[in-house]
Amino acid sequence: MIDQQARSATAIVLDAHSGAVVAMATAPGYDANDVPVVTPRYLPNRAVTDTYEPGSTFKLVTVAGALSDGAVTPQTKFTLPYSITVADKTIHDAHPRGTETLTFPKSSPSPRTSARSRSPSSSDGNAWLTG
């Protein structure tokens, strides 16, 4: 939290095989033995009470599902434009950015993105999932 100057943080660890919650934490925390002095906004467990915009976080779920179904491979590259149009609505990132490419580094199973200099048309609703 300090490095990113965040006001709060949430982490949930799941068992990859069963989906069971292994650990859950939120910060800032408080001393459960001294609840009367805790600022009320710190009492709820934000990991389970708050809603989150899926945004970039959901790209991981999409790619994991596509890998699991065999629709893509770790060598597949995904184009991530700043915005896409779905029906009559345009969806975009919170902050302007150029088009990026999502790839899997050879040394790690975790995806990463890199900026590209050219942007495809934002009207191409499938651009974010093309290999």
Are residue 77 and residue 33 in the same domain, yes or no? no
Residue 89 has pLDDT above 50, yes or no: yes
Are residue 62 and residue 110 in the same domain, yes or no? yes
Beta strands in the chain (DSSP E): 9-14, 21-27, 78-80, 83-86, 89-92, 100-103, 112-115
Give the model confidence (pLDDT) of 36-61 as tens digits: 999 888 888 888 888 766 666 677 78
Kindly state the percentage of the chain with pLDDT values over 90: 13
Give the model confidence (pLDDT) of 63-79 as tens digits: 888 888 999 888 888 88
Are residue 32 and residue 48 in the same domain, yes or no? yes
Residue 89 structural domain:
53-131
Are residue 43 and residue 1 in the same domain, yes or no? yes
How would residue 93 be classed by pLDDT, with cut points 50, 70 and 90?
confident
Residues annotated as catalytic (active site), given as ranges: 56
Cα(40)–Cα(46) distance, integer angstroms:
12
**How many domains would you assign to the chain?**
2
Cα(75)–Cα(128) distance, integer angstroms:
16
